[in-house]
Structure 1
Amino acid sequence: MRPFVFLLHWRNRKVTYTLHSISISISISISISIFICICILRLAERNAERTMECKSKMRDNGSVESHRYFLSRKTALEMLQDRGYDVVQHTNLTPSLQEFRSRFGQQPNPHTLGFSVSHLSHPSNMVQVVFAGTDVIRKATVTEICRQIVDRQKLKSLILIVQSKMTSFAKKDLETLPFKVEIFKIDELLVNITKHVLQPKHEILTDDEKKALLTKYNLKEKQLASMLRTDAIARHYGLEKGQVVKVTHSGPMVDSHVNYRCVV
């Protein structure tokens, strides 16, 4: 009988020991889980604090109006630089939004934002940029714009950046001016479309390059793919009818290839 009692006692002790070991393991697992949860919560709190700090740094506390003027003016300068004009002086004056606001204020006067630039290769070729206000553009507005023109004899093109509608009489007056008038809505210049990652590379051919292209492939101008003068790219570069653009498509997902388009 005693051996049986001893064996039973030994088994009870073994079960008790096993249960005790399991209890300790569970306690350790719970402690580790709690520790991990605390670490995750603290890490999340730190990330949240850093995110809020970054957002506070990125938050623009200035006026929306000044931001729109800054972006449109910046794009206009980039556009003229792509056309071969000397814009360095004006670009260096307001390279950032903060410096733009320091110079022109939170509520910029549109009449002070305009500028004129000369072509790098042909200094006598000049373009003037004028910002119109928020009022409807009428005949009187066109008259006032003409007064802002610096040198009519050298002026090749007037770029008018508008924010509102234009009357038919104002349009007729602009059409009678002795130089080219390009009209852009301010919303069209908030982003430089040529810098989009999906936008192919565009190169404007010279007259000699165009002639060589047509001769090489024995083509006529009308056989080239067309590009409307109202196309966003054509307007960006100020292209005229008959000019040819070399378009290079390239990217990680497509093979590089080139085509040519003629402005119509």
Structure 2
Amino acid sequence: MEEMETAVMPECLISFVDSGTVESHRYFLARRTLLEMLRDRGFPIPDDDLAISLPAFRARFGDNPKPEDLRISTTIPSNPPKKITELLVNITKHVLKPRHVLLAAEEKEKLIAKYNVEDIQLPRMLKSDAVARYYGFEKGQVVKVTYNGELTGHHETYRCIV
């Protein structure tokens, strides 16, 4: 029986092969999304922390990271989701997700006065909505949602968090 020769991968392709564990890759993605979420909520997150590569993450935390080593020290104004799988993808970066911007109190009052309505009469967004949880929106706040699509065109709408 002839011995099978092992295939040698060309040098140019080696950089595309992930030789680490799936667990370390999942922790890397979850940590990056969490840092992006904190920055989007107004927390000062250094660019170096967001720009860390997967190999650098593994060099720092190992191939089997311990969750206690991944702690980020900051005060979070709302309860973060408990499922780590929600942190694997930053939902605000999806191409089909419209842009959500929280209105300041003055902007909310101008909107209410302009349309002569109460905030409860605006279309609603549940506080449990994925985007509301991501940004930490609270009940009573108003969010401007901007759509840019081929079918819908450019338009804005407002949602009251309930």
Unaligned 5+ segments in structure 2 are 1-8
TM-score, normalised on structure 2? 0.87
Report the structure, 1 or 2, having the larger strand content.
1
Query: Kindly tell me: are residues 109 and 90 of structure 1, through their superposed partners in 2, closer, same or farther at Cα, counting changes over 3 Å?
Result: farther
**Could you say what the CA RMSD is over the residues aligned between the two structures, in angstroms?**
2.0
SS of equivalent to 1:60? coil
> Which residue of the other structure, out of 90, 109, 112, is the alignment partner of 2:69?
112
Give the number of equivalent residue pairs: 154
Q: Structure 1 residue aligned with 2:108, among 210, 213, 229?
A: 210
Amino acid at match of 1:105: G
Query: Are 1:87 and 2:45 an aligned pair?
Result: yes
1:75 maps to amino acid: T
* Counterpart AA for 1:246: K
Relative contact order: is structure 1 or structure 2 higher (C-alpha 8 Å, sep ≥ 6)? 2
TM-score (norm 1): 0.55
Find the counterpart in structure 2 of residue 166 from structure 1: none
Identity of aligned residues (%): 51
CA shift for structure 1 position 182: 2.7
1:188 and 2:86 matched: yes
Deviation string for 1:208-253 (max 9, x for gaps)? 1111110111111111010111100000000110111100001344
Q: Does 1:78 pair with 2:3?
A: no
Matched, 1:248 2:154: no
**Structure 1 residue aligned with 2:155:** 257
Any gaps of 5 or more consecutive residues in structure 1?
A: 1-50, 118-125, 128-156, 158-179
Runs of 4+ with >2 A deviation: 51-57, 180-184, 251-254
- 1:243 maps to a residue whose letter is Q
Matched, 1:57 2:15: yes
Are the equivalent residues in 1 in contact too, given 2:143–2:160 (CA < 8 A)?
A: yes
Deviation at 1:207, TM superposition (A): 1.1
Relative to its length, the structure with more helix (as a share) is 1
